[in-house]
Amino acid sequence: MGASRLLGGTGENEMTGRRIEATTLAIVVLAAAALYAARLSHVPSFLSNDETAFGLQAHAIATTAHDENGRLLPVYFQMMENVWFHPALVYWMAPVLAVVRPTPWAVRLPTVIIAMINLVLVFALGRRLGLSRAAAIGASVLLSVTPAHLLHGRLACDYLLPVPCVLAWLIMLIDAQKSGASWRFFAAGCILGVGLYTYIASLVTMPVCLFLSYVAMYSSGIRRLRPYVMITTGFAVLLVPAVTYLLAVPQLYAGFSARYGGANVDVLHDPRAMFELDIMAKRWAVYQSFFEWGFLFEKAETHVMSSTYTSGIFLKVMKVLIPIGAYHILRNRLTTFTGLLLAAFFSAPLAASLIPEKYAIDRALTLLPMGVLIGAFGIDWLLVRRASVATWAGRALCAGLCVWMVVQFNEFYREYQFNYPIRASPWFDGNHPGAFDAIVQRYGSDDRTFIYLSNGLPRIREQWKLYLLGHRRRDLLSRTVVFTPQDLHFEVVRAGSLLLTGADDPVERAFQKMPEVRAVTQITEPDGTPSFTIFERTEHSVLYAFDGTYSAEVNLACAPGRASDRCLTLATTAACPSMETLTVANNLVLDSCGYLQPVLLTDRGFFQGSSTTLGIRVEGQFATNGRFMLSGTHMAGMTRYQLDFSVTKSK
């Protein structure tokens, strides 16, 4: 009877412990969700171009099952002419956009959900690695307040998506080793295969994890061939769609190579090049940068989207917990899988190291949960029962570190919510919402005038389309014209139409001198810097006698004053200067080769501008027929330059 009572009490205590554990984890996740979702539409200030591209593709999949280019459920998404993105975020985002409009909050919400899943997975992994309940909960808390995790957990980009795959792989691998179930090894391989479709860095990270799986399995005493076959098969099965799509769409590989050509290595066709000594030496400095003390804990000098520049990628408290945790693992808790945790931590930046760019934490975010779990072992060590005085000292130190963590996170979070949006807004491609709000407010459903957007604004079509979809004004898409200065003809633009340009860009500067339009609104960034200008078409009309296309022969002569002086030359391409063309539209002169700055002709056709090279002052009189000259001279030190354009009207 006594034994049964004891066993019953033990089971009841275990159930109570699990309920407390689940309740505490739920509270942590809900509190983190509130922090991660707060002001999600406004911090960061605007959707970046990448976020906009993901939002549009996900909305297209949700509403038509085709991407923006008309492909049915593609394996990869073509965002621009030679830019392809991995599909996981698009398909993860699509169910959300199937039920809500693609507003900034809705577009970013799926990434917040990924961040919350990471908190649950890091707890589950911590328990399987032998952490106490308190330390495993601590791992979730530490990850939730990790600056780099919060920053990327609020962006509608795919940087964070490899993290849950790596965590789930480790969980499944540990369970497979303990149970010996073949299907778990297969599932672990499948998880890594899914990870291949999350982010471009995963094309390196996931195979590295597969290799680490083999090492861990062998170290744990697995000698049978079947587990190795099962995990490899799981990975290979998920690899098939990528390989098939790559063969069917060869420009996909060209797109990846073009975006990340800084590696200077063709991994697909010449993988051995990665192991050349000079390549490895150059990448070693990049790899080391991810473990610099200041970058980890003090100030992360990385891209503004990835850092507030007021903290490292971890809070300062981690510079105490990670060393203690590493000591605790190596001294007391070293097993096959805690060793695998350390290996995963140090291998996390391998993919990022292929690109010659230091501190690019967005390419190595799997570093974060591994570092957090090592830090959680530090908590575990502090909470270990010892002699009474030592036990209380450890607990007091742990409590003090918790208070320090709260203070640090409060400082970081306040900086992120209030100062970071102002400082980072230019990197999020400008205050498009402010410009679009001002335009849409002027256009009722019965307004027949058109909206003109300058093609010189990066990704303006995509930004405008997503905005209209999110504000239920799709009707304006059919009344939108994206123009270049060459093809804009004011005689067909109705009076009252609005035209959007960048602030102080060549189009805006030209418009300021034209009587056909007048500036009505200037849009500013959160810091007050002008970002866009809205013009309105006036009733005024001008006949531009010199509009048209002109062919030009260009010659830059140089007379060095001394024998040691070296002459500069014009930039050359396949088309320039041999096919140089000057286009005049609304008296604005545009040079196809970019040798001349855009400038307005006078009403009588007099040209007075400057070259982009050396700033040579060029002048001349345009003519509607025959040949005419635009010329200028310039002294650079003792060297004399003569720039001549022999121009003939083509049409």
> Judging by DSSP bridges, how do beta strands 498-502 and 451-454 pair with one another?
parallel
Q: Which of 131-145, 274-288, 432-446 has the lowest mean pLDDT?
A: 274-288
- The pLDDT of residue 7 is 47
Structure tokens at 64: 């038509």
pLDDT tens sequence across 554-594: 999 999 988 888 898 888 888 899 889 999 988 899 999 99
**Per residue in 161-175, is it b (16+ CB within 10 Å) or e — as a string?**
bbbbbbbbbbbbbbe
Q: Which amino acid is at 648?
A: T
d(CA 345, CA 369): 8
- The pLDDT of residue 542 is 82
- At 304, give phi and psi (nearest 5°): -60, -25
Q: Does the pLDDT at position 499 exceed 60? A: yes
Q: In terms of Cα–Cα distance, which of 46, 45, 65, 67 is closest to 56?
A: 67
Average pLDDT for residues 498-518, to the nearest whole number?
93
- The pLDDT of residue 1 is 46
**Per residue in 210-223, is it b (16+ CB within 10 Å) or e — as a string?**
bebbeebbeebebe
Q: Which of 73-77, 111-115, 304-308, 362-366 has the lowest mean pLDDT?
A: 304-308
Helix, strand, coil percentages for the chain (3-state, nearest 5): 55, 15, 35
pLDDT tens sequence across 71-95: 999 999 998 877 899 999 999 999 9
Q: How confident is the model at residue 356 (pLDDT cuts 50, 70, 90)?
A: confident
> Judging by DSSP bridges, how do beta strands 548-559 and 588-591 pair with one another?
unpaired
Q: Which residue has the tokens 């504000």?
A: 471
The answer for 571, left when phi > 0, alpha when psi is -120 to 50, beta otherwise, is beta
Q: Has this prediction a pTM greater than 0.75? A: yes
Quick check: 136 and 185 in contact, CB under 8 A? no
pLDDT tens sequence across 592-638: 999 999 999 998 999 999 998 889 999 999 998 889 999 999 998 88
Identify the bridge partners of residue 550 per DSSP, sorted by sequence position. 582, 649
- Please state, for a pLDDT cut of 70, what percent of the chain lies above it: 95
- The pLDDT of residue 385 is 86
Q: In terms of Cα–Cα distance, which of 169, 145, 116 is closest to 341?
A: 169
The answer for 410, left when phi > 0, alpha when psi is -120 to 50, beta otherwise, is alpha
Domains in the chain: boundaries: 45-260+270-425, 432-537, 548-649
d(CA 512, CA 521): 12
- The pLDDT of residue 491 is 87
Q: Does the pLDDT at position 261 exceed 60? A: no
Q: Which amino acid is at 163?
A: V
Average pLDDT for residues 260-274, to the nearest whole number?
55
d(CA 423, CA 607): 40
Average pLDDT for residues 249-253, to the nearest whole number?
82
Q: Does the pLDDT at position 508 exceed 90? A: yes
First to last CA, the chain: 106
| DSSP E strand boundaries for 365-475 | 451-454
Residue 329 burial by Cβ neighbours in a 10 Å radius (0-12, 13-18, 19+): buried
d(CA 630, CA 303): 44
Q: Which residue has the tokens 């070293």?
A: 334
- The pLDDT of residue 259 is 61
Q: What CATH number belongs to 432-537?
A: 3.40.190
d(CA 91, CA 97): 10
- The pLDDT of residue 105 is 97
